[in-house]
Amino acid sequence: MTREARAGVETEAARSAAETARVARGLADRSREERERWRETTRARAVAEHPERRRTFATSSGIPIADLYVPGDTALLDEDRDLGRPGEYPFTRGVQATMYRGRLWTMRQYAGFASAEQTNRRFRYLLEQGQTGLSVAFDLPTQMGYDSDAAWAEGEVGRVGVPISSLADMEVLLDGIPLDRVSTSMTINATAPILLAFYVAAAERQGVPRAAVSGTVQNDILKEYIARGTYIYPPRPSMRLVTDVFEFCAAELPKWNTISISGYHMREAGATAAQELAFTLADGIAYVEAARARDLDVDRFAGRLSFFFAAWSELFEEVAKFRAARRMWARIMRDRFGARNPRSQMCRFHTQTAGSSLTAQAIENNVVRTTLQALAAVLGGTQSLHTNARDEALALPTEESARLALRTQQILAHEAGITETPDPLAGSYFVESLTDELERAAQAYLDEIDEIGGTLAAIEAGYQQRQIQESAYRRQRAVEAGEEIVVGVNRFVDEPVPAPSLQRIDPGEEGRQVERVRRVRAARDPRAWTRAMDRVRTSAGGDENVVPALIEAVHAGATLGEMSDALRAAWGEHRESITI
């Protein structure tokens, strides 16, 4: 084609695009004009007879909800630019081409009890009931880098999850579970590289090659500084550990997701949907920047990044949030970081229903809340899902309540008809408008974080923490004032009923766990242990990736507390110093 012919084709294409835009604007104007006519006539008469319940309607993020959405609200929506097709950029409609028509989401119920034996029994039970992946909750000493027999750990062992102090504990936890066929998610952050080392060593003891091991380690330390508090080391060496895991897994564990960038905990702390979206993506940006600073190729590691979001009860805002997350992350990875592999541009995520929405009063209502939130996650295209049990506001779930939570997912998967086509709410004037509005609101937060100097600088300045605290305060005030209704708490309160049967922790388990840690220390080879721990200290003090040294130490019988202490000696401990 000659230059003149090519210019003619381009001119004609531009004319066609301009005409299409002109027609779209005309249709939009007409639909908006019709809306105004409706407001002044039909709606005005209805409101005069029956005033609306509130003067204004808005989402949790403060986005106004219109009285009517019309085609004009989405007239400028460009299918190729803004939606794409499932499995294609910008992945608004889903990261897989067939979504749940081909494969359902992973049903991954979170569990962790007073001992590895009890947790293993619950895992086996859930797998027998149809669960398709494992999710491990660890106790507080494990999260904070203390062995079960440490003085600091006394009274906390096994309270909020399973205690793992050594390879022996991890082997008991995973006994009889084929690690080449079952994927495992581990909710662990400050000690994530150590728990990953335990898991890899346990798989090797099973004879499972590293290439076959699949799962996810949360490994998201930034949200600990923002919202949760289970950090050990200062932010910058902690980021080094995160990228060590990236680098190690890229080379050794091709099926392992190296991070689960977690908005969930920020939402649980009081963030709005827009804040959860923005602060999660901001953390993701920081992790990618840290990995690139280590000269890691973005298309070599980005395909193993995953995310973790909350699902709340405000159905349409939640669906829109998940859609906006995929679109925003795809654009960030392509345009900001130059990722070219489509997998590197995908925002794949796990979802958990909102724990902080559960009430201790009228716990049966929690079944309805969880079902609604799970529906939002599925309509929003999640890759895996945990549904909270009805009694989790009171204690760790009983076997019966955990089974019902799993059955909730199975009913949604097989009876509700919501899995038959990808992104079934696409094209809704309301949902598409909310998706755009949430993206705009989240981008405004991202722009502020960039102005401060990036995610780490914003965390150190307390920016995200202040925003979340203010949102939590506003919501609590609204609940206390009765402006926001919580069924069974401030409205529609039931008569008191007898306390349900709850999961009880055997106080003797802590003593048995302490004894196992001490047996591990007594049985190991002191010389092998000393060599391995020397390598951990050398790695921490230099530039060598610390994960291989941790795996060697695990095989030599080193405990979680000993390895954590070696890193404490090298880097110190973080102390919160900002003023909120």
Residues forming beta bridges with residue 64, ordered by sequence position: 58
Rounded distance between C-alpha atoms, residue 422 and residue 410, angstroms: 18
Rounded distance between C-alpha atoms, residue 425 and residue 142, angstroms: 42
Q: What is the pLDDT of residue 570?
A: 96
Q: What is the DSSP string of 541-571?
A: HSSS-HHHHHHHHHHTT--HHHHHHHHHHHH
The 8-class DSSP code of residue 345 comes to: G
Q: What is the pLDDT of residue 580?
A: 45
Inter-residue contact 157 to 513 (CB < 8 Å): yes
Residue 200 shares a structural domain with residue 70: no
Rounded distance between C-alpha atoms, residue 111 and residue 137, angstroms: 5
Residue that terminates a domain, selected from 76, 92, 125: 76
Residue 297 shares a structural domain with residue 405: yes
Using CA of residue 388, residue 390, residue 394, residue 398, what is the dihedral sign?
Answer: negative
Rounded distance between C-alpha atoms, residue 4 and residue 449, angstroms: 47
Q: Which domain holds residue 96?
A: 81-480
Q: What is the pLDDT of residues 242-252, one digit of tens each?
A: 999 999 999 99
Residue 467 shares a structural domain with residue 527: no
Section 377-385 average pLDDT = 97
Section 471-483 average pLDDT = 94
Determine, yes or no, domain membership for 487. Answer: no
Residue 470 shares a structural domain with residue 383: yes
Would you place residue 474 in the very low, low, confident or very high pLDDT band (cuts 50, 70, 90)?
very high
Choice between 575 and 242, residue whose per-residue pLDDT is larger: 242
Residue 444 shares a structural domain with residue 328: yes
Angle CA 23–80–424, to nearest 5? 100
Rounded distance between C-alpha atoms, residue 197 and residue 550, angstroms: 6
Determine, yes or no, domain membership for 62. Answer: yes
Reduced to 3 states (helix: H, G, I; strand: E, B; else coil), residue 340 is coil
Residue 30 shares a structural domain with residue 175: no
pLDDT at 529 over 90: yes
Residue that terminates a domain, selected from 48, 76, 104: 76
pLDDT at 230 over 60: yes
Domain count, the chain: 3
- Residue 251 CB neighbours (<10 A): 13
Rounded distance between C-alpha atoms, residue 250 and residue 367, angstroms: 40
Q: What is the pLDDT of residues 480-506, one digit of tens each?
A: 999 999 999 999 998 887 767 766 767
Residue 48 shares a structural domain with residue 106: no
Residues forming beta bridges with residue 259, ordered by sequence position: 305
Section 337-345 average pLDDT = 97
CB-side exposure of 153: number of CA atoms within 13 Å?
28
Contacts of 407 (CB under 8 A, 6+ apart): none
Residue 11 shares a structural domain with residue 126: no
Section 169-188 average pLDDT = 94
Residue 280 shares a structural domain with residue 366: yes
Determine, yes or no, domain membership for 579. Answer: no
Residue 209 shares a structural domain with residue 358: yes
Would you place residue 577 in the very low, low, confident or very high pLDDT band (cuts 50, 70, 90)?
low
Section 542-547 average pLDDT = 96
Q: Please name the amino acid found at residue 458.
A: A
Span of 113-127, 189-203, 546-560 with lowest mean pLDDT? 113-127
User: What percentage of the chain exceeds 90 in pLDDT?
Assistant: 83
pTM: 0.91
Rounded distance between C-alpha atoms, residue 495 and residue 433, angstroms: 41
Contacts of 32 (CB under 8 A, 6+ apart): 70, 72
Q: What is the pLDDT of residues 133-175, one digit of tens each?
A: 888 999 999 999 999 999 999 999 998 899 999 999 999 999 9
Residue 215 shares a structural domain with residue 357: yes
Residue that terminates a domain, selected from 51, 76, 101: 76
Q: What is the pLDDT of residue 454?
A: 96
Report which secondary-structure segment, H or E, holds 186.
strand 184-187
In this structure, what token pair is assigned to residue 57?
């309607």
In this structure, what token pair is assigned to residue 353?
């229903």
Residue 226 burial (10 A CB sphere; 0-12, 13-18, 19+):
buried
Rounded to the nearest angstrom, the gap between the alpha carbon of residue 368 and the centroid of all alpha carbons in its chain is 22
Would you place residue 21 in the very low, low, confident or very high pLDDT band (cuts 50, 70, 90)?
low
Determine, yes or no, domain membership for 54. Answer: yes
What CATH number has the domain bearing residue 418?
A: 3.20.20.240
Q: Please name the amino acid found at residue 12.
A: E
Determine, yes or no, domain membership for 117. Answer: yes
Determine, yes or no, domain membership for 507. Answer: no
Inter-residue contact 169 to 194 (CB < 8 Å): no
Q: What is the pLDDT of residue 387?
A: 96
Q: What is the pLDDT of residue 1?
A: 57
Q: If you count them, how many residues does the chain have?
A: 580
Inter-residue contact 281 to 324 (CB < 8 Å): no
Residue 255 shares a structural domain with residue 126: yes
Contacts of 542 (CB under 8 A, 6+ apart): none
**Torsion angle, alpha carbons of 206, 212, 213, 215, to 10:** -150
Would you place residue 303 in the very low, low, confident or very high pLDDT band (cuts 50, 70, 90)?
very high
Q: What is the pLDDT of residue 133?
A: 85
Q: What is the pLDDT of residues 71-129, one digit of tens each?
A: 989 988 999 999 999 999 999 999 999 999 999 999 988 778 789 999 999 899 889 99
- Averaged confidence pLDDT in the chain: 93
Section 196-215 average pLDDT = 96
Rounded distance between C-alpha atoms, residue 242 and residue 193, angstroms: 8
Q: What is the pLDDT of residue 111?
A: 79
Determine, yes or no, domain membership for 222. Answer: yes
Q: What is the pLDDT of residue 17?
A: 61
Contacts of 379 (CB under 8 A, 6+ apart): 315, 319, 418, 424, 425
